[in-house]
Amino acid sequence: MLSDAARALRETFSAPYRRVMWLSLGLTLLVLALLGAGLQWSLAALPEFGIGWIDTVVAIAARFLAVIVLIPLVHPAVSLVAGLFLENVAARTEETAYPSDPPGSDQPFWQSLVIALRFTAVLIAVNILVLPFYLIPIVNIFLFWVVNGYLLGREYFELVALRHMDPAAATAFRRKHRGRVFAAGVAVAFFATVPVLNLFAPLFGTILMVHTYKKIANPEGFA
């Protein structure tokens, strides 16, 4: 798995993916700017109590909570935008790295959009639920890796598997190899904790899952 992760890291920033990488990055920064503007508007709309020290405490607490809430939303925002391009990334990886294998089938755009929205909603909901635990030093990092490792492994692996089999088969295939899928998902979650690099985590995750899927589906070819 480590060799696959190193390979995926190299390929993430290679020439075949740069157009998608920059387009995804630009749209992600736009979404994050809109989220930040929305939070600022919400803070400005807070009522004042007319008592100086209370208004100051409320303003400081509100801004602190806004930052705490915005941080877990960075990865879902990145995933939402990148989700529109991941079929293209998976197809390009399969074509470049496994040219002799039968090509996968791209999912329709609207289906990809629905999947991206659903996954983003799940990421937001789960990370908000565990938000109180993210305030605990050290525990927060390992919890993020475990929770998001599972979610990211599941989503990206099934995205790749659906290019080659129906949804029921893809789910069964992922469950059968849940250990390897989870390990790869943790690698993506680790990547997502590195500042700046986290903006490219979905691209890295998709490329990594293509290599993971190929090794699981055809172990003889990598013996």
- SS3 at position 164: coil
Q: In the numeric block, which tokens belong to residue 208?
A: 């990594």
Are the C-beta atoms of 119 and 156 separated by less than 8 Å?
A: no
Q: In the numeric block, which tokens belong to residue 198?
A: 């986290």
Query: Whole-angstrom Cα distance, residue 20 to residue 91?
Result: 13
pTM exceeding the 0.75 threshold for the entire prediction: yes
Query: Whole-angstrom Cα distance, residue 151 to residue 133?
Result: 17
Query: Whole-angstrom Cα distance, residue 58 to residue 214?
Result: 53
Query: Whole-angstrom Cα distance, residue 28 to residue 25?
Result: 5
**pLDDT tens, per residue, the chain with 223 residues:** 678 788 888 888 888 888 887 887 787 778 777 776 776 666 665 566 556 666 666 566 666 655 555 666 666 777 777 677 788 888 888 888 888 888 888 777 777 777 777 777 877 788 778 877 777 888 888 888 888 888 888 888 888 888 888 888 988 998 999 899 999 999 988 888 888 888 888 888 889 999 999 999 877 655 5
Looking only at Cα atoms, what is the longest distance across the chain?
A: 73
DSSP assignment string, 127-161: HHHTGGGGGSTTHHHHHHHHHHHHHHHHHHHHHHH
Q: How many CA atoms lie within 13 A of 52 on its CB side?
A: 0
Q: Domain residue spans in the chain?
A: 2-217
Query: Whole-angstrom Cα distance, residue 153 to residue 163?
Result: 16
- Distance from CA of residue 12 to its chain's centroid? 14
Let me know the angle formed at the C-alpha of 133 by 132 and 134, rounded to the nearest 5 degrees: 90
